[in-house]
């Protein structure tokens, strides 16, 4: 059951329902109009926002099996297989999980950039993109021994660096517009957003093929 708790300080209200907690900060447009300024009708507005949020949530279901360093995952009828290099005990028949993570970043940025380009004013005529990325992590975070001792470094990726080249259908775009495409894409891309929130440095240079 939804409930509302008022707080003092920079956070005006905290709305808690289901599995989510939403904070509205003074001056922030987020959740504007979420609740009325008076007590009347607040419960109804909270329920409406709860319904809107629930309807916008996307769910990703998968089934996977694994043995040793390999896995087979089924997603919506598609099959994804992972493996490890032979020097890590695998057969090297499929990409590593971290390589799939980088591929997911590329796929997500391409799809998000296509959406952003269509919505830009004026519309950017994006034909496609090419990506040259390098991900780096410190292997001690995953493999250091003994297991009961803290790892000397985090196991996560440290950084992803590289170049994203924007290809246009025709014409040219200003550097300011390309940077706008980059900025909004990185903010809206779920995979990029997840990596950034996890402490991964994304150092990607966006250019156009016309400027190469």
Instruction: In whole angstroms, give the CA distance from residue 193 to residue 109.
Output: 10
Three-class SS of 49-88: HHHHHHHHCCCCCCEEEEECCEEEEEECCEEEEECCCHHH
Reading the block at residue 171, the tokens are 């014409």
Cβ atoms 2, 49 nearer than 8 A? no
Confidence of residue 18 (pLDDT cuts 50, 70, 90): very low
- Using 50, 70 and 90 to split pLDDT, how confident is the model at 26? very low
Residue 25 confidence (pLDDT) above 60: no
For 138-155, what is each residue's pLDDT tens digit?
Answer: 999 999 999 999 999 999
Q: To the nearest 5 percent, what fractions of the chain are helix, strand and coil?
A: 35, 30, 35
pLDDT digits (tens, 9 = 90+) for 181-210: 999 999 999 999 999 999 999 999 999 987
Q: What is the mean pLDDT of residues 157-162?
A: 98
Question: What was the pLDDT predicted at 31?
Answer: 34
Q: Which residue has the higher pLDDT, 191 or 10?
A: 191
d(CA 200, CA 212): 28
Closest CA to 157 of 192, 132, 130, 186: 192
62: pLDDT confidence band, cut at 50, 70 and 90?
very high
Could you tell me the end-to-end alpha-carbon distance of the chain, in angstroms, rounded to an integer? 57
Q: Please report which confidence band the pLDDT of residue 211 belongs to, taking 50, 70 and 90 as the band edges.
A: low
Query: What mean pLDDT comes out for the span 99-106?
Result: 98
> Does position 91 have pLDDT exceeding 50, yes or no?
yes
Per-residue confidence (pLDDT) for residue 78, from 0 to 100: 97
Helix (H, G, I), strand (E, B) or coil at 102: helix
Three-state DSSP state, 95:
coil
* Cβ-Cβ contacts under 8 Å for 97 (sequence gap 6 or more): 71, 82
Question: Which of the 8 DSSP states describes residue 127?
Answer: E
Beta carbons within 8 Å of 183's beta carbon, 6+ residues apart:
none
pLDDT band at 165 (very low <50, low <70, confident <90, very high): very high
């Amino acid at each position: 059951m939804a409930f509302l708790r008022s707080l003092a300080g920079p956070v005006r209200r905290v709305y808690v329902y289901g599995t989510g907690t939403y904070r509205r900060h003074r001056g922030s447009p987020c959740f504007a109009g979420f609740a009325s300024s008076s007590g009347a009708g607040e419960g109804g507005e909270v329920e409406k926002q709860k319904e809107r949020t629930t309807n916008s949530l996307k769910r990703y279901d998968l089934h996977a099996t694994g043995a040793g360093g390999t896995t087979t995952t089924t997603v919506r009828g598609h099959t994804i297989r992972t493996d490890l290099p032979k020097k890590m005990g695998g057969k090297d028949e499929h990409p590593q999980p971290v390589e799939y993570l980088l591929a997911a970043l590329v796929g997500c940025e391409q799809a998000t950039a296509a959406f952003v380009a269509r919505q830009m004013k004026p519309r950017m005529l994006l034909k496609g993109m090419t990506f040259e990325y390098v991900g780096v992590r410190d292997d001690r975070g995953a493999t250091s021994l003994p297991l009961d001792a803290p790892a000397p470094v985090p196991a996560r990726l440290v950084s992803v660096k590289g170049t994203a080249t924007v290809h246009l259908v025709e014409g040219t775009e200003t550097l300011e517009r390309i940077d706008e495409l980059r900025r909004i894409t990185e903010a809206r891309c779920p995979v990029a957003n997840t990596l950034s929130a996890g402490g991964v440095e994304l150092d990607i240079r966006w250019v156009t093929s016309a400027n190469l």
